[in-house]
Amino acid sequence: MDTETLRTFLEVNRTRHFARAAGNLFLTQAAVSARIRQLEDRLGARLFTRGRNNIQLTPAGHRLLPHAEAMIASWNRAKLDVGTEDDDRSLVVLGCLPSLREALLDTWLAELYGSGAQPMLQIELLNASALVNRVREQSISMALLYEPPQARDLTATEVATLHLRLVSSRRRVKMDAPIEDFIDVDWGTSIRLYVEALLNPRTTTMLRVDTPMLAYRFLQNTGGTALLPETMVADDLHSRRLHLVTASAVLERPVYLLRSADLPGGKAAERIAASLAAR
């Protein structure tokens, strides 16, 4: 079985969107659809129902899901075990939260490969609990997340800080007044609780998203208020397409690199970790 086909199946299930899965996998939407059809043909069963804006797993898809996750995890462990020698070209599997891909990872990847480095790097976009489990079971080399657990078998190093600003498509929005169009971006539990405590209790959350780019595009197309990276909204604030919420402050969101305390890194993994820590 082609592991890339299984990865595509898992990404479509995670995003419930063929175009979004294609973007995350750096494929065309046609290629993603072709891979899913190929997998369905091999298994002799439909894996997704394809309603308009409503992609769901079929019963067969639900049955395949744990097998696909186990096969990918096993294959990753095998690649990591084989590549733990001091080899600059060993595969490094880096897990990342979806929100960090847009706020940090895209820029870092451009800088890394633009510097002439050519690592064998595989990116896995997962939620926080999955990242911790995958690092712990050593099926990924390391992970970027906001709130690492305190555990003896894991090590966490702060590698970056995101500067977040509360912005709105409307002028003169105030922190102490009810906000009826708040967009909740997943910056981790501690940031969500802090922001909720700052906002007026009658503030209404109209949308929850797991990536800042989704919130940013929604602001552009529909309007609203959201907590977004300063680098993402700087031009819009300068041109006054977006506006700072009155009396709001810059919030800092530390980013940590999580690794297994027991997994030998090898030269390739150490270079990746050093590149992230140098940001």
Can you give the residue ranges of every domain in the chain?
A: 1-81, 161-253
Task: State the Cα–Cα distance between residues 1 and 190, nearest whole angstrom.
Answer: 41
Q: Contact at 8 Å (CB) between 209 and 185?
A: yes
Each residue's pLDDT tens digit, 148-203? 998 888 999 999 999 999 999 999 999 989 999 999 999 988 898 898 888 999 99
CATH classification for the domain delimited by 1-81, as one of 1.10.10.10, 3.55.40.20, 3.40.605.10, 3.30.70.920? 1.10.10.10
| pLDDT of 86 strictly over 60 | no
> What CATH code would you report for 161-253?
3.40.190.10
Instruction: Grade residue 253 by pLDDT with cuts at 50, 70 and 90.
Output: very high
Percentage of residues in the chain having pLDDT higher than 90: 43
Lowest-confidence range among 29-43, 96-110, 257-271? 257-271
Give CA–CA dist 100/122, Å, rounded: 15
Over residues 202-214, the pLDDT tens digits come to 999 999 998 999 9
Contact call for residues 108 and 275 (beta carbons, < 8 A): yes
pLDDT score for 279: 65
pLDDT value of position 11: 87
With CA atoms as reference, report the closest residue to 164 among 186, 181, 142, 145.
186
